[in-house]
Structure 1
Amino acid sequence: MRILLSAYACKPGVGSEPGVGWRWAMHLAKTHDVIVLTHERFRNDIEPALNNFPGPRPRFVFHETRLLRRVPFNSITALPKYIIWQLSVLPTAIRLIGEARYDVIMHLTMGTFRYPSWLGFLGVPFVFGPAGGGERAPMRFFHGLPVRERLVEFARTALIVSGKFDPLLWIAHSRARLIFARTEQTRQALPFFLRNRVVIRQEIGSDPTADKREPAARLPEEPLRLVMGARLLGWKGVHIAIETMAVLRTRGVCATLDVFGQGHLQEWLTGKLRGLGLDDCVRLRGYVPFEEMQQHMRSAHCFLFPSLHDSGGTVVLEAFGNGLPVVCLDLGGPKDFVTRESGRVVGTAGRGIGEVARALADEIEDLNRDDALRRKLAAGALARGRELSWVNQMDGAMRLINGVLDTSTGSDVVEMER
């Protein structure tokens, strides 16, 4: 099969969206003829990695809008540059289609339903996703955060709702034979007449290390070492993690929390830690490279992730791959990864921040008190990681795509998945 893969974000050796683009491109190239459309800014990372990669490789076509080449990439320009890229890449895609016959065009990154791809208009069967972005959390979980965070969340909710009434979004997504949504909330955020071609599917996977090990040992008097990987933003739930640690301290539980990630709430969260007297047991460690993050996970005892609306949560699967039980909330995509054998999912219905923090503390206290339980869940995390491996996730998606391509339309994809 010849595949034109649109992966605006694509970079080796990293996580998140760029890592997704790279992993899919390299895996699909093992059994298919793959041409990848990606942004020019990833060229210097991709080309050296390709030169050292054994076996079949995809062909990369780098594109940047000429007028925006001198515009820096940052949090302000990222979205406009992406939207313009999706339009300006069309002539390049048309040229590629004119040079060879393609069996399918796949849009992979960026994976958000609100900003569609226009590659479905090129006369080739089109698959969109997996995409998220329709996940929401109750506004009560943003109580106490800076006003800016609450305003941003309110605006985001309005944007999600507006998707059901956006004719451009309707038109673009209607060209897809198959739409992969990361969660049911994203599926419900789409117009009703598109939902029969939506399948719930995650694009991310776990990468369990080849040299499997025992869970990190814990000495009798050693603190329970918790770790969290998240940007320091309101919706990532770091403030809830801090409240959880405050509850644990009042109960006399000996635990530490290392938070890896950066963001504009760094100063606010630091002040909150000082105010609660937790700066001796909760450390905001900032950004660390991917491999270093894996090392920190391997030496920890539990992964705490009270994110409020992550559509996936790559870091959760990374935790599984490192044998870490995960404690998360029943919001967004992470809840679909975590089972009773690999961690704990805390319910949020009818609860505020304080009640959720106490419920999270209950689960962590169980792990602190019962090390046999912790080790059992750690083994379950490794097993869950193998089940949700990158290879299994990607191959499962390709089976669905092949099934849709074998039919005349994508109207029955939901029934096929069932």
Structure 2
Amino acid sequence: MHLAKTHDVIVLTHERFRNDIEPALNNFPGPRPRFVFHETRLLRRVPFNSITALPKYIIWQLSVLPTAIRLIGEARYDVIMHLTMGTFRYPSWLGFLGVPFVFGPAGGGERAPMRFFHGLPVRERLVEFARTALIVSGKFDPLLWIAHSRARLIFARTEQTRQALPFFLRNRVVIRQEIGSDPTADKREPAARLPEEPLRLVMGARLLGWKGVHIAIETMAVLRTRGVCATLDVFGQGHLQEWLTGKLRGLGLDDCVRLRGYVPFEEMQQHMRSAHCFLFPSLHDSGGTVVLEAFGNGLPVVCLDLGGPKDFVTRESGRVVGTAGRGIGEVARALADEIEDLNRDDALRRKLAAGALARGRELSWVNQMDGAMRLINGVLDTSTGSDVVEMER
């Protein structure tokens, strides 16, 4: 929507999103992109779920080429941007259409030390081993080499993803996140805290091993042994629900840590507005949309120096805990140290809350997109107002 204010934008996307996009466009004032919807007949009746998503995506990327060729035959385009699936391991073939090509922002190269998966169910550890093998294999995948070599510019979400690409592609990679924050963030006030009131922590994450909920629970156990009065609400669902519930019971934390399950977006925002701090010990998130949502609600963020969230959080908006040479217990104690500081010093918490709101404004969609387009124009030597074909979720 922001690009459409100064560019002619066509978004080529999947037919299944039509019923969400078209009503939203009707309520949007000002210039709008043109949306072109495509679906391959081969998979029209195949349901979309976690099992079918990847094969449907791969087939869609191939089947969409004739549609893209038709669009290119209708008008002149200055650049094609491929945004999704947002993983470097799944290449796009749009770079072969004779139009300057930009790939990304892509993630998927982020890894965490296996010691942080210690104690989790065997399935979680096997998944991480397999994922690590896939990341490493990307450096030797000839199809990935061929497709990515067509890009004049590659946006990677993190340095780890840049390093996961073949060495001869890294000189055309720029670190850039693909997400922006709510522009109305500056209208929200952080939650106040009454004397003797528990420090209310909130976490939004699926209940999967790599999301670090088990580390958050260990952190709460440390806080309890130190006598810190704090509660944690975890919003999200996943197959570790039962395992995490048992862990809470075993540690005697089920009175202060609540697994709240899935809640709609607006309800999640309300919970954030009444909390005092956002805890996010995720192990390899490429981005961190929920971190920007926390900023928009005036929540200081405490996270790990793994993945993308560390690039959002500054000393003025939260705390980033180092993981080098540390195990789960040491990281949990370090997270507890930062939370204990916020519990003890409410002036510090309020200062970081104000910094979180300011950081959210810095990372607004307008700033994010303008920065990306400056980079694209610089590399492609295109002018303002150029046509853009944009691949979107």
Alignment deviations for residues 198-245 of structure 1 (CA, whole Å, 9 cap, x no partner): 001111122153563442111111110000111111100011001101
SS where residue 414 of structure 1 aligns? strand
- Contact residue 320 and residue 381 of structure 1 kept, 8 A: yes
Change (3 A) 1:349 1:308: same
Structure 1 residues 305, 114: CA separation in 2 closer, same or farther (over 3 Å shift)?
Answer: same
Q: Is the Cα–Cα contact under 8 Å of residues 185 and 297 in structure 2 kept in the other structure? A: no
**Structure 1 residues 63 and 213: alpha-carbon distance in aligned structure 2, compared to 1, 3 A threshold:** closer
Structure 1 residues 369 and 414, CA gap change in structure 2 (3 angstroms): farther
**Kept after mapping to 2: 8 A contact 1:136/1:309:** yes
**Is residue 339 from structure 1 mapped to residue 314 from structure 2 by the alignment?**
yes
Secondary structure at 1:67 match in 2: helix
Identify which of structures 1 and 2 has the higher relative contact order when contacts are C-alpha pairs closer than 8 Å and 6+ apart. Answer: 2
Deviations 1:102-159 (A, max 9, x none): 1110001211100011101000000001110000000000001111100000000000
Q: Is the 8 Å Cα contact of residues 8 and 388 (structure 2) preserved in structure 1?
A: no
Q: Larger deviation: 287-296 or 204-213?
A: 204-213
What secondary structure does 2:186 align onto?
A: coil
Tell me how far 1:101 sits from its aligned partner.
1.0
Q: CA deviation at 1:267?
A: 1.2
Is the 8 Å Cα contact of residues 76 and 387 (structure 2) preserved in structure 1?
A: no
Distance 1:408 1:41, change over 3 A: closer
The residue number in structure 1 matching 2:384 is 409
| 1:126–1:137 distance in 2 versus 1, CA, 3 Å | same
Q: Relative to structure 1, is the Cα distance of residues 345 and 83 closer, same or farther in structure 2, using a 3 angstrom cutoff?
A: same
Q: CA deviation at 1:409?
A: 18
Distance 2:390 2:6 in 1: 27
Query: Aligned partners of 2:183 and 2:34: how far apart in 1?
Result: 28
Retained in 1: the 8 A contact 2:83–2:392?
no
| Whole-Å separation in 1 of the counterparts to 2:130 and 2:387 | 34
Counterpart Cα distance in 2 of 1:238 and 1:154: 19
Instruction: Return closer, same or farther for 1:60/1:191 CA change in 2, 3 Å cut-off.
Output: same
Q: How far is the alpha carbon of 1:411 from its aligned partner?
A: 21
TM-score when normalising by structure 2: 0.96
Q: CA deviation at 1:413?
A: 19
Q: What number of residue pairs does the alignment pair up?
A: 393
Which whole-Å CA distance do the structure 2 matches of 1:285 and 1:265 have between them?
Answer: 13
- Cα-Cα RMSD: 3.8
User: Which of 143, 147, 155 does residue 122 from structure 2 map onto?
Assistant: 147
Cα deviation for residue 350 of structure 1 reads 0.7
Under a length normalisation based on structure 1, what TM-score does the superposition of the two structures give?
A: 0.90
- Cα distance in 2 for partners of 1:288, 1:29 equals 32
Q: Which residue in 2 is equivalent to 1:72?
A: 47
Aligned equivalents of 1:110, 1:330: Cα separation in 2 = 24
Shift, 1:30, TM fit: 1.3
Matched-pair contact (CA < 8 Å) for 1:325–1:377: yes
Q: 1:201 to 1:249 in 2, by over 3 A?
A: same
1:401/1:265 Cα in 2 relative to 1: closer, same or farther (>3 Å)? same
How far is 1:272 from its partner? 1.0
Gaps of 5+ in 1: 1-25
Do the aligned residues in 2 keep the contact of 1:130 with 1:180 (CA within 8 Å)? Answer: yes
* 2:292 is equivalent to residue 317 of structure 1: yes
CA deviation vs aligned residue, 1:342-393 (integer Å, no higher than 9, x gap): 1000010111001100110010000001000000100111111111111101
Residue 207 in structure 1 maps to residue 148 in structure 2? no
- Once the two structures are superposed, residues 393-418 of structure 1 have per-residue CA deviations (whole angstroms, 9 ceiling, x without a partner) of 11100011011111899999999999
Contact 1:246 1:278 in 2 (8 A): yes
More deviation, 164-173/209-218: 209-218
* C-alpha contact 1:178 1:197 (8 A) present in aligned 2: yes
Change (3 A) 1:414 1:343: farther
Q: How far apart in 2 are the matches of 1:107 and 1:338?
A: 27
Per-residue Cα deviation, 1:49-97 (whole angstroms, up to 9, x for no partner): 1112111111111111211111111111111111111111111111111
What CA distance in whole angstroms lies between the structure 1 residues aligned with 2:389 and 2:56? 34
**Cα distance, 1:152–1:258 mapped onto 2, change above 3 Å:** same
Q: Tell me if structure 1 keeps the 8 A contact 2:7–2:387.
A: no
Does structure 1 retain, via aligned residues, the 8 Å contact 2:12–2:392?
no
Q: Is the 8 A contact 2:65 2:94 kept in 1?
A: yes
CA distance 1:408–1:156, shift in 2 (3 Å): farther
Change in Cα spacing, 1:189 to 1:374, as seen in structure 2 (3 Å) is same
Confirm or deny: 8 A CA contact 2:88 2:107 kept in the other structure.
Answer: yes
> 1:196 touches 1:414 (CA, 8 Å); kept in 2?
no
Distance 1:316 1:95 in 2: 39
After superposition, what is the alpha-carbon deviation per residue over 1:258-298, rounded to whole angstroms, capped at 9, x for unaligned? 11111111111111111111111111111111121111111
Rounded Cα–Cα distance in structure 1 between residues aligned with 2:52 and 2:137: 22
Q: Sort the Cα spacing of 1:207 and 1:247 in 2 relative to 1 into closer, same or farther, 3 A.
A: same
Contact 1:196/1:412, CA 8 A, preserved across alignment: no
Q: 1:409 to 1:166 in 2, by over 3 A?
A: farther
Per-residue CA deviation, residues 303-329 of structure 1 (Å, 9 max, x unaligned), is 000000001101111111111100000
The answer to whether the Cα contact below 8 Å between 1:196 and 1:411 also exists between their aligned partners in 2 is no
